[in-house]
Amino acid sequence: MKNLINRLPFKAVVIFVVSLLVASCSKSDDSEMMVVEAPGQADLVLPQNNTECEVGDVVANMAEVAFEWTEATNAERYDLTVTNLVTQEVTLRPNLMDTQLVVRLERGYPYSWNITAKNAGEETTVSDSYKFYVAGEAGSNNVPFPAILVSPESGATINPVDGKVTLEWDSEMTDSDGDALTFTVFADTVDGNQEPDDAWTGLTETSLEINVESGEVYYWHVETSDGKNVAISNTYSFKAGENTSSIDGKIVTTVQELLDAIEAAVPGENIYVRGGDYSFSNTIEIKKSGTAGNMISLLAHPADDTRPKFDFSAMSESSSNRGMELEGSYWHIMGIDVFKAGDNGMLITGSNNLVEFCTFSECADTGLQLGSGAASNTILNCDSYFNADSSLENADGFASKLDVGSGNKFVGCRAWQNLDDGWDGYLRGADNVTTTYENCWAIMNGYLKDGSLGAGDGNGFKTGGSDNKDLKHNAIYLQCIAFGNKTDGFDHNSNRGEVTIYNSAAYDNGRNYGFSNTNPLELLTIKNSVALGETGSINATTLDVTNNSWMDGIVTSHEDFESIDYSELLAPRQEDGSLPDVDFFHLKADSDLIDKGVDVGLPYNGAAPDLGPFEY
């Protein structure tokens, strides 16, 4: 009995403790676990970004700099990190309980700073970084902030495009002294410190495209100069991966590849022709067609410095030996030089084609001709020159003629020293068609390559004409030029249609304007145009001729112009194919031709349009 009595209290205690533990566990299951939230981001207050900060006491070239930032949510401590951007020396003040601190920093250097917020656990959040400058002695020039390298990131592998990679960095364009900044890029496969290319020095942009070799590792950095001091960035490295091409299409390098590509072309396809000479003895026939939304393109390869030259000199002279016959529609042909075809350099019989930045030279007939119903084609920034047949009587620069369709347009084209006409609009088998010419130049047509006189007609722009002198070729000339042509600058030739000439010019032609009262035009409109020298003959059934250099008492002489040397017009084209910038026939400030025109829908400066093709 005694033993039983002694054991009862012990069992009761055990039962009581177990009950407490069970109750405790049950309450714990129902309660929420304590969560420590991540700290927010501190906002930097002082020093402000990209500024020269105010300093306190200076001792031994060390200045007191005050730092201040806002409280971050859920933060208990802060680390202040300050980096000298020149020496890369780091000053760290850890575990700060306050949101401001004074730190001594060496003067005359740029710095960056940021704040790391810490919570009660192990989580941290880093603020943005600000840059500031601690000025040196009075009168000294501040070292600029070094550039921050952006791309390629260090250690990255970059696939070059056409063998090139673009380096990018971030920097202000002026420093804290207001000095303009320039950049020099160092990039090589050694250490990023080899002598840079001259083109990589003194840059005023924050990017540079460089050539690279696939598989090589490159090192690069940027040095920023204000003309007095230089700041050096970090050095990054990247590996050049597999080269990719910007070309979306088929690339051809041989005559057969070219012919095969043309034969197999489908709407929307691009055919790129590598630079160099391609010799042909037969006509290139283009019969496939694109569509309005998917043209087929035959283009010079954009990466080549040398243009593709289609050489047809192996052809004999014959009316069937054309260089290229474009029967298809919706083609874009660009950057091709067509040379010495046995007849036309290119004959277009299709429609809605664009021929751009091509040349046609020394062919035995017209360089580029449109016929057989060809309509709504645009010939843009093309040149046609030195075309002549063996009889020295035929071959124009360009022609929209015979049985041509309507709506064709020549823009920014030049025709010079073609045996017959610069442009020929003679009709046979078509009537009442319209052709437009914008910013086109006809120069010294009727003369041969060696400058001697040929037996052709020698007009700059032959507007039309027909066998029975009864067909209408309506022609619109906007800001066109005819200079030094053997016969007429602008020629009637029994055209019975309507001709409009706005803001154009003629000089040193056999006759500047040649519109006869025999088989006259139905309507001749000339406005805002110039004739230097004798005007010529201006007749039509109906005339609308006003505001021109030979009217209203205006006296026109070479003193009105910056230059009358039309050799300027034969200067090389600009890189994009547009006409060269010239002084020729640009008006002087005191010219009587300024503001003497009438609004015809073309852009102009001042109170009214000027006379001639170039606005002052």
> The CATH number of the domain where 349 resides is what?
2.160.20.10
* DSSP assignment letter at 60: T
Cα–Cα distance for residue pair 69/576, rounded to 1 Å: 53
Q: Please identify, among 224, 240, 256, the residue that sits at the C-terminal boundary of a domain.
A: 240
> What share of the chain in percent tops pLDDT 90?
84
Same domain? For 586 and 564 the reply is: yes
| pLDDT at position 275 over 90 | yes
Same domain? For 199 and 282 the reply is: no
Q: Which tens digits make up the pLDDT trace of 313-355?
A: 999 999 999 999 999 999 999 999 999 999 999 999 999 999 9
Would you say residue 13 lies in a domain? no
Would you say residue 425 lies in a domain? yes
Range of the domain at 276: 247-320
Same domain? For 236 and 261 the reply is: no
Cα–Cα distance for residue pair 581/286, rounded to 1 Å: 35
Count CB atoms within 10 A of the CB of residue 21. 10
Here the tokens at position 512 are 């500047």
Q: Name which residue leads in pLDDT, 85 or 80.
A: 80
Confirm if 493 and 518 have CB atoms less than 8 A apart: no
Cα–Cα distance for residue pair 36/56, rounded to 1 Å: 39
Q: b or e along 33-67 (b: 16 or more beta carbons within 10 Å of the residue's beta carbon)?
A: eeeeeebbbbebebbeeeebbebeeeeeeebebeb
| pLDDT at position 26 over 60 | no
Task: Say how many Å lie between the first and final Cα of the chain, rounded.
Answer: 131
Q: Name which residue leads in pLDDT, 86 or 214.
A: 214
Same domain? For 116 and 170 the reply is: no
Say if strands 217-225 and 236-240 run parallel, antiparallel, or are unpaired: antiparallel
Would you say residue 14 lies in a domain? no
Same domain? For 200 and 182 the reply is: yes
Same domain? For 291 and 394 the reply is: no
Q: How many domains does the chain have?
A: 4
Q: Which of 462, 472, 486, 596 is catalytic?
A: 462
Would you say residue 335 lies in a domain? no
Query: Which residue in 559, 546, 544 sits closest to 589, CA to CA?
Result: 559
Same domain? For 551 and 464 the reply is: yes
Peptide bond into 160 cis (omega under 30): no
pTM across the whole model: 0.72
Would you say residue 476 lies in a domain? yes
Cα–Cα distance for residue pair 329/318, rounded to 1 Å: 26
Say if strands 109-118 and 124-126 run parallel, antiparallel, or are unpaired: antiparallel
2 annotated active-site: no
Cα–Cα distance for residue pair 425/475, rounded to 1 Å: 9
Same domain? For 283 and 422 the reply is: no
Q: Which tens digits make up the pLDDT trace of 427-444?
A: 999 999 999 999 999 999
Query: Which residue in 594, 589, 590 sits closest to 606, CA to CA?
Result: 594
**Four-point Cα dihedral 399, 400, 404, 409, nearest 10:** 140
Would you say residue 39 lies in a domain? no
Quick one: which H or E segment has residue 7?
Answer: helix 2-30
Same domain? For 83 and 120 the reply is: yes
Would you say residue 28 lies in a domain? no
Same domain? For 443 and 471 the reply is: yes
Same domain? For 522 and 597 the reply is: yes
Q: Which tens digits make up the pLDDT trace of 81-126?
A: 999 988 889 999 999 999 999 999 998 888 999 999 999 888 999 9
The pLDDT-based confidence of 1 (bands split at 50, 70, 90) is very low
Here the tokens at position 24 are 């405790």
Cα–Cα distance for residue pair 540/530, rounded to 1 Å: 19
